[in-house]
Amino acid sequence: MTSQLLWFILAGFIAEMVCGTLGMGYGVSATTLLLATGVAPVIASAIVHASEVVTMGMSALAHYKVGNVSREIVRRLLVPGLIGAVAGVFVLASVPAGKMRPWVAGYLLLMGVLIVIRGIGDITSAKAHHAGPIGFIGGVLDAVGGGGFGTIVTGTLLAVGYPPRTTVGSVNFTRFFVSIAATIAFAFTVKMSTWTAAIGLAIGGAIAAPIAAIFAKRIPARPLTIAVGLLVIGLSVRTIVLALR
């Protein structure tokens, strides 16, 4: 194994520990890291979604086994999320990487702020009583930004009163299918030159998934949420500054 692969395995493990426990943060964290190392936004999103097929598959199975999945929540999110993800892929692929990078980084910065707000526990999202539109918006922005489905969907559903445990489990379960749809769409729009990052992220995430599903029931999430949000904010600001020079 190369040191680069080991680094991505570690990154995937950490990202999935956060996401599997909190229902958010995998795509945002991993994409922010890739953008900070100079990867084009469309390639970064493709890499992250390819790794999520494995990682979210393991997470979905783990959450289902420990009883964290609500069929009703999944039913409302699934189809809109799939449609939104495919639409987001074609939006991202149609814009030149140089023009897209600061916008994607700005979106991730916003996601970082939202994660911190969730950690503090004082979110004031607009109320919505139907999960479908939330799933569609989450799918579009997830594909465009390489992450955000969990942050947007989990954060909004929790803000309007959905139960935390089943919300986290159901969103992670749904993201498995959203990741498959996005990866298939990326396969028709993006030419991948290397799979090292995707393989590393997938391995690390697969190792973390069953552990995180158990942690979702037991660990206080606030300090971890805030730390991840601050990390995403810092890396996003760095990417924006470099892109605007």
Query: What is the tens place of the pLDDT at every residue in 126-161?
Result: 444 567 888 998 898 888 877 778 777 877 777 666
pLDDT for 163 = 78
205 vs 242 pLDDT, higher one: 205
pLDDT for 203 = 93
Mean pLDDT over 173-187 rounds to: 92
Dihedral sign (CA 61, 62, 65, 66)? negative
227 vs 85 pLDDT, higher one: 85
pLDDT for 105 = 73
Reading phi first (left if > 0) and then psi (alpha if -120 to 50, else beta), residue 34 is in alpha
Reading phi first (left if > 0) and then psi (alpha if -120 to 50, else beta), residue 23 is in left
Query: In this structure, which amino acid lies at residue 198?
Result: A
CA distance 207 to 125: 33
The separation between the first and the last C-alpha atoms of the chain, rounded to the nearest angstrom, is 35
Instruction: Name the nearest CA neighbour of 239 among 109, 148, 45.
Output: 109
Q: Are 197 and 37 in contact (CB under 8 A)?
A: no
Residue with tokens 């039913």: 75
Q: How far apart, in Å, are the Cα atoms of 33 and each of 47, 91, 147, 194?
A: 12, 22, 12, 16
Whether residue 7 has pLDDT greater than 70: yes
Query: What is the tens place of the pLDDT at every residue in 39-86?
Result: 888 888 889 889 989 988 988 999 999 898 999 999 999 999 999 999
217 vs 185 pLDDT, higher one: 185
pLDDT level of residue 228 (50, 70, 90 thresholds): low
Q: According to the per-residue pLDDT averaged within each range, which of 36-40, 174-178, 212-216 is highest?
A: 174-178
Any residues with CB less than 8 A from the CB of 131 and at least 6 apart, and which? 73, 76, 77, 153, 157
pLDDT for 122 = 53
The secondary structure of the chain in percent helix, strand, coil, rounded to multiples of 5, reads: 80, 0, 20
Mean pLDDT over 195-204 rounds to: 89
- Kindly report the pTM of this predicted structure: 0.75
